[in-house]
């Protein structure tokens, strides 16, 4: 397939304010759940490389943390990674929600985009939430801010217009062979994906009870025949949070495990025996050592 001289391949980043649907869109485009989604902002913490392969070409998607104002070292890391990616890729997808209001967050992103020469495709997500006739004024509002190579309205949740988006991306990729085998979906270590799936369920089930300060550490993944034994620890910042995560008689921890297990089994294609613990690591989001321990490289904060 890659011997085709017309074959294209390249790197595409998804940027946007927190909670605009970057992870949902990436999962939709590659057809498999790799990045976690949540109604809480700033869910994605690491760059996640996923791969879309077709007869026409290969797109390596780099999902980045949302661009926002940092409040701690973890926040610094997330912003630094997102902004540095802009000049390292072949195409930038900027996701926004349908609106004719350009806020301070969007203006900050526009300033970053105007500094780079990378082609920018504006993706207006969540178009299933507005009437069709409302869409043109929203498109016009953004078109007045800067020149985009393309403007594509989509619904990541429903999959509307995602084929058009893929075609638009392909236009701006360089010719060349694939970077990955056609069966590759992600370069993320399996442990990291499993940890993120557990963290997603914890965020959803705990809702507003626990702030954003939780991480998941995979202590062990042991394979035996058609079963994978997984031991994982949910890290929180306060003793009071620990009690909430565990729940009365361990009820919340069991719910988190029960919710995460099916997704992990689907990912690994194995039966999963999942055991969860909870530990308190005060101020882990401001500790270089702990950030590195949970998979974030403190050098990226500099």
Highest mean pLDDT among 55-64, 197-206, 246-255: 246-255
The reply to whether 31 and 152 lie within a common domain is yes
Alpha-carbon distance of 16 to 22, in angstroms, equals 7
What pLDDT does 157 receive?
A: 87
Q: Does any domain span residue 253?
A: yes
- Which tokens sit at 162? 């995602």
User: Which tens digits make up the pLDDT trace of 287-296?
Assistant: 665 555 555 5
Whether 2 is in a domain gets the answer no
With respect to residue 134, please indicate whether it lies within any of the assigned structural domains: yes
Percent of the chain residues topping a pLDDT of 70: 77
Domain-located, residue 125: yes
CA pair distance 296, 204, nearest whole angstrom: 22
Give the pLDDT score at 50: 82
Q: Report, as an integer, the average pLDDT of 53-71.
A: 74
Rounded to an integer, the average pLDDT of 142-158 is 93
Q: Rounded mean pLDDT of 268-276?
A: 90
3-state SS class at 277 = strand
Q: Catalogue the E-assigned strands of 125-262.
A: 150-153, 215-224, 227-236
DSSP 8-state class, residue 160: B
Which pLDDT value is given to residue 43? 43
C-alpha torsion 242→247→248→251, nearest 10: -140
What pTM was estimated for this model as a whole?
A: 0.60
Q: How far apart are CA 299 and CA 302, in angstroms?
A: 6
> Where a domain ends, among 171, 200, 228?
171
Structure confidence at residue 180 (pLDDT): 83
Q: State the total domains in the chain.
A: 2
Average pLDDT in the chain: 81
pLDDT band at 229 (very low <50, low <70, confident <90, very high): very high
* Residues of the domain holding 252: 190-301
Mean pLDDT of 152-156: 94
Higher pLDDT, 165 or 78: 165
* CA–CA gap between residue 85 and residue 63 (Å, rounded): 10
DSSP 15: E
Instruction: Looking at the structure, tell me whether residues 236 and 149 fall in a common domain.
Output: no
pLDDT computed for residue 41 by the predictor: 43
User: Do 28 and 156 reside in the same domain of the chain?
Assistant: yes
**Tokens 């970053």 found at:** 112
Q: Dump pLDDT digits (tens) for 169-228.
A: 999 999 999 988 887 777 666 777 888 889 888 888 887 666 557 888 888 888 888 898
For residue 301, the model assigns a pLDDT of 39
């Amino acid at each position: 397939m890659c011997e085709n001289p017309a074959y294209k391949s390249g790197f595409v980043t998804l940027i946007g304010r927190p909670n605009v649907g970057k992870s949902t869109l990436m999962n939709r485009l590659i057809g498999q759940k790799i990045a976690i989604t949540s109604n809480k902002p700033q869910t994605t913490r690491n760059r996640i490389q996923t791969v879309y392969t077709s007869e026409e070409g290969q797109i390596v998607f780099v999902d980045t943390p949302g661009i926002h104002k940092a409040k701690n070292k973890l926040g610094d890391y997330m912003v630094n990674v997102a902004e540095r990616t802009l000049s390292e890729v072949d195409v930038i997808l900027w996701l926004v929600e349908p609106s004719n209001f350009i806020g301070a967050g969007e203006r900050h992103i526009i300033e970053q985009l105007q500094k780079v020469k990378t082609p920018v495709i504006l993706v207006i997500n969540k178009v299933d939430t507005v009437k069709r006739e409302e869409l043109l004024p929203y498109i016009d509002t953004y078109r007045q801010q800067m020149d985009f190579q393309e403007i594509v309205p989509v619904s990541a949740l429903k999959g509307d217009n995602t084929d058009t988006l893929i075609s638009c991306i392909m236009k701006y990729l360089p010719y060349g062979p694939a970077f990955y085998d056609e069966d590759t979906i992600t370069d993320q270590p399996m442990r990291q994906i499993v940890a993120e799936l557990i963290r997603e369920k914890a965020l959803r089930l705990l809702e507003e009870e626990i702030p954003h300060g939780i991480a998941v550490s995979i202590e062990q993944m042991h394979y035996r025949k058609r079963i994978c034994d997984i031991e994982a620890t949910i890290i929180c910042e306060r003793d009071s949070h620990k009690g909430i995560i565990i729940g009365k008689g361990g009820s919340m921890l069991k719910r988190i495990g029960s919710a995460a297990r099916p997704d992990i089994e689907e990912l690994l294609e194995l039966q999963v025996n999942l055991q969860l613990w909870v530990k308190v690591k005060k101020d882990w989001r401001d500790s270089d050592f702990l950030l590195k321990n949970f998979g974030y490289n403190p050098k990226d904060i500099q």
